[in-house]
Amino acid sequence: MAVTLENGVAVPVLPRVDQIPLGELSMMRRELTGLAKAGRQANLEPAGFTVSNLGMLNVDNFIAIINPPETAILAVGSIQKRPVVGEGGELVIRDMLTMTLSIDHRAVDGALAARFINTIKDRLENPQALVSGC
């Protein structure tokens, strides 16, 4: 994950993030953010994937650059209310955000990346799946 600092950005590593329950992951993120802001790094393992959220700085969308040896980075923009067509064809207002996935095609197939971003989309649209792990 990318952490904004006064003089730049730090990228603390969350090892084996795919095996960590969501609640524990949230606590680890807070701890690692605090360490990074204090100028300390808890883990010196190289990262494989980064999430960069400029949405909290009111950036609608952006393209993040992969930092080797990583193979991908997910850029997350701000949540905005937008008109969309609902399931019944009616116009509704929904919270929407833009995500952009940059990948190194030498390491990741584009079709796999598309399935990954669609899984994220599905989980955000169905948050109960985040808690149940379905």
Asked whether 76 and 53 are in contact (CB, 8 A), the reply is yes
User: What is the bridge-based pairing of β-strands 80-85 and 91-96?
Assistant: antiparallel
For residue 4, indicate whether it is catalytic. Answer: no
Six-digit token pair at 66? 């992969």
* C-alpha–C-alpha distance, residues 105 and 64, integer Å: 15
Tell me: cis bond preceding 46? Omega within 30 of 0 counts. Answer: no
Active-site residue, selected from the candidate residues 16, 81, 105, 106: 105
> Any idea which residues carry the catalytic annotation?
105
